[in-house]
Structure 1
Amino acid sequence: MTVLLATLIIVGTSVPVWAAQLDAQINPNSDSSPFKVNYQKTIFIEYPNGGQLFDELHTKSWTLSGTADSSNAGVQNLMKRLNENIADSGSQARISDLNVLYDIHLKGRNINSSVDYKVILSGTLSEYVITKDQVRTLVDLGWRGLSTNQEIQIDGIDINHPISLFKVEEPLLYSIVAGTEAEEILSKNMINADFIAQQPLTNWHFLFDPTGVTSDAATFGLDKSISGFVVSSWTMGESSIREGRQVERVFEAEINSDQKYVIRTVQSADQANLSAIGFGALDILDGVEIIGVTPTPPDGYATTSTGDFPIFIVYGMAGMAAVAGIAFFFVSSRSLKNEKQGQQGIDPSKLVGYQTSASSGGYQTNRGEAQLRDDTNYQQTRNVYEEHNTKNSPPTPSTQEEAACGCAASAEMHSECDCVMQGACLCDGTCRCNAEICKEQVSSMS
């Protein structure tokens, strides 16, 4: 089950990502709304072994940047191409105004050179309202994949294909990459938001803000356009089971010329934020994703944010928890069966209790201690210090017969008998002293 779950997660989250960041605020009560989309890419030109590109680029640094509005022929061409792509997707929305900002910066270094490539489009979206009545407004959201493969010339620069820029600004680099896999990588279009359109809105994270419908909304300084309305938001770009694994998109190619070179392009994951004034309910009309917008959420709708976890993941995790629980009880049961049964340690029947603190001057308490009734298990319980003291104690001499009186003790000490020294014997009949005075005393007592 664990392997199956891991496989489902990997397969479900391994999706391609592109490099566009979209931000749009849709007002269903207006004929037009603003949008902004940012396309970014970084190109690395690596020359680890030096060579002609190292000599040409490692000290270089230049920047190309500029802006243009809808009066520019190149911007008009771009707006036309974007509207054609929107129409091809089935959407009725149109871009009615467009501004372009491009910024390209090359920085040379000792091991590589980098080119930071950025194109920002900002403009006005119109004709997105499909129909409107007293209950709801249907809004078209099928326009969000703002992409084109066509050449877009602004100020003499094709801002959509980096290879065209290098052909003009860095002819040596272009001559080395021409006809190689690196040329294909550098020919990929910058203005590409296809993945934002391909990601279903049902996979986006939904949130609505009810602040506009509160009685004291005016005290928050809210815009009049949202007074009396909730605001719905949809966001994408997070790595999750729902949206997929969002990672950088990297393309790399090696070139064998006078030296080995590596061309690598890196693009960040797509991100998008769409908001609409009113509560938006997702739907599909003629294959195009739309929202039905009402001023307030339906009665009883208390959830302000989505976050539904895929049900197969929930069931999978529950199954894994059940298997883990069964395994735990099985192992615990076997461990209990393998444990040694019966009394451990000293048998209580061989212990006897006695009170402590009963000595003279001691404070008598109810506490007690236990000791062995006999010394059967003494070898298991003896004090190691007692054994140590026994080994260190000097041996005590023994005699065949203990002294029975003072003169006998003197004899054992090889000294003169006390009775002889005192001139009188006070011993009893058990005296075995050889002194005459002692013998006479013993004889008189027999």
Structure 2
Amino acid sequence: MSRAVVLTVLLAGLIIIGSSGSVFGAQMDARINPNTETSPFKMNYQKTVFIEYQNGGQLFDVLRGQEWTVQGTADSSDPGVQKLMSTLNNKIQSDGSQAHISDLNVSYDIHLKARNINTSVDYRVILEGTLSNYVITKDSQKTLIDLGWRGMSTTNEVVIDGHELNFPINILLEMEPEAAAFFVGTEAEDVLHRNLIDADFILQQPLTNWHFLFDPTGINVDAGTFGLSEEIAGYVVSSWTMGESSIREGRQVERVFEAEVMADQLYVVRSVQSSDQANLYAIGFGALDVFDGVEIAGVTATPPEDYATTSTGDFPVMIIYGMAGIAAIAGGAFFMFSNRALKNTKEGQQGIDPNRLVGHQTSSSSGGYQTNRGEAQLADDSDYQQTRSYYDDSSNTTQSPPPQPEATPAAAQEAACGCAASAEMGSECDCAMQGACLCDASCPCNADICKEQVNSMS
């Protein structure tokens, strides 16, 4: 039983882990073309801060009815964007990658809305740009591309259009200084001083743990009918996807940081940044490898001959056999438990032995029609007291049996009633059913037609 309970808990955990989902914190989307010098990418960073005042107070009075939005866009001509691009390139280089960002656009959207019991501040910063120098080597058969640039993060301030975007506390100090003063010098300030532009987890998750698929549409004979762009014509497209919460990738949960502030009332500040997600595409068939501690992919125009893989690479080898083993153990535990329960029950025939039953016909003929109905009765009455019906016991009934009429000799009935059928047919004298009667005064039949016949004969 204990083993069965453990297996049940384990399987339930697998279901919960596999089905969890969330809104993404850092979301990456990049398409690398090894045949060109540059490729586009997009990084989306999101975070929400909740300021809670369940019992009202001065902070509630300060924020009551407040709602505002700070948003804008800037390109690489903006000094703030240039500084951010330089900072990101330094981070990519420190991660061991030779790639760098050659162009960058930044858009931001920060929205505050006050409610009766809390205030929420939604932060969103989107980076769209161009990667270059990601090709390591290239020959007639294979191209090696650098994939170690994924951790686009910075712990520096990012000031664009006069707004600091990387640390949530700064926009509050700018837009709501009276409310932000409640948090300065407290643990809440540490919660609000965690950087928003953070994609380190996307880099830390090895690409071998990502789901891998390749699309061979570009090499189909009729690929032109699909309206494919020229860059993928004649090639397959490899894709790696990260973000599923599972045993192989690990359980991905929201990053929640919380702190309490005791002023005139107890206030709670909570920062929520959900699990990361990433989609990485490469033109051609990509085979992963590691070079000098940096993840790379060897890209060919077509997949190797007779190549086949699942959407999870080596996932089936590690997991599917393990799941099959768990299922086998669970099945063994189930049969063991069932066998133990069966031994505790009485075996063999329960009730009356069929060899002691005999069949009896219960139907009779009428007008020459005979049915096959019958019933089973005991061949002897040795165990009748154990098998008889409750209603067969005269002590359990209150009604007395109906009076039995005096028996009339069969010969007298047969002689008296001329309407009786022949004895071979096995039917009785029934003047009402016959519709005619030839009876004398000694006929005991009570049918009206018989009485009329008797009167007419007398």
Query: TM bucket by the smaller chain?
Result: 0.7 to 0.9
Structural mapping, 1:72-151, within 5 Å: 72-151=78-157
Distance in 2 (alpha carbons) for counterparts of 1:395 and 1:135:
108
Distance in 2 (alpha carbons) for counterparts of 1:48 and 1:334:
56
How far did 1:326 drift? Answer: 3.4
Q: 2:391 aligns with which of 373, 378, 384?
A: 384
TM-score by length of 2: 0.78
The letter of the residue matching 1:326 is G
Q: 1:375 to 1:319 in 2, by over 3 A?
A: same
* Structure 2 counterpart SS, 1:22: strand
Distance in 2 (alpha carbons) for counterparts of 1:50 and 1:338:
65
1:415 — aligned with what?
A: none
Is residue 229 of structure 2 the alignment partner of residue 196 of structure 1? no
Structure 2: segments with no counterpart, 5+ residues = 404-458
Q: 1:162 to 1:385 in 2, by over 3 A?
A: same
Structure 1: segments with no counterpart, 5+ residues = 397-446
1:214 — aligned with what?
A: 220
Alignment size in residue pairs: 392
How far did 1:381 drift? Answer: 1.4
Structural mapping, 1:45-64, within 5 Å: 45-64=51-70
Distance in 1 (alpha carbons) for counterparts of 2:132 and 2:71:
28
Q: 1:153 to 1:299 in 2, by over 3 A?
A: same
Deviations 1:281-339 (A, max 9, x none): 10111111111111100111133633543655445434433333433444444445444
1:181 — aligned with what?
A: 187
The letter of the residue matching 2:34 is P
The letter of the residue matching 1:246 is Q
* Structure 2 counterpart SS, 1:144: coil
1:266 — aligned with what?
A: 272
How far did 1:348 drift? Answer: 4.5
How far did 1:371 drift? Answer: 2.3
Distance in 2 (alpha carbons) for counterparts of 1:98 and 1:59:
37
* Structure 2 counterpart SS, 1:165: helix
Contact 2:363 2:372 in 1 (8 A): no
Deviates more, 1:299-308 or 1:197-206: 299-308
How far did 1:171 drift? Answer: 1.2
Distance in 1 (alpha carbons) for counterparts of 2:361 and 2:370:
8
Q: 1:53 to 1:289 in 2, by over 3 A?
A: same
The letter of the residue matching 1:115 is V
* Structure 2 counterpart SS, 1:391: coil
Q: 1:29 to 1:324 in 2, by over 3 A?
A: closer
Is residue 374 of structure 2 the alignment partner of residue 371 of structure 1? no
Q: 1:33 aligns with which of 39, 63, 82?
A: 39
Higher CA-based Rg: 1
Distance in 1 (alpha carbons) for counterparts of 2:113 and 2:170:
18
Q: 1:37 to 1:356 in 2, by over 3 A?
A: same
Structural mapping, 1:240-319, within 5 Å: 240-303=246-309, 305-306=311-312, 308-309=314-315, 311=317, 313-319=319-325
Contact 1:209 1:304 in 2 (8 A): no
Is residue 330 of structure 2 the alignment partner of residue 324 of structure 1? yes
CA RMSD of aligned residues (A): 2.9
Contact 1:67 1:100 in 2 (8 A): yes
- Identity across matched positions, percent: 67
* Structure 2 counterpart SS, 1:320: helix
How far did 1:133 drift? Answer: 0.8
Q: 1:382 to 1:160 in 2, by over 3 A?
A: closer
1:428 — aligned with what?
A: none
* Structure 2 counterpart SS, 1:39: strand
TM-score by length of 1: 0.80
Distance in 2 (alpha carbons) for counterparts of 1:369 and 1:18:
74
How far did 1:364 drift? Answer: 2.8
Q: 1:221 to 1:349 in 2, by over 3 A?
A: closer
How far did 1:18 drift? Answer: 8.3
How far did 1:349 drift? Answer: 5.4
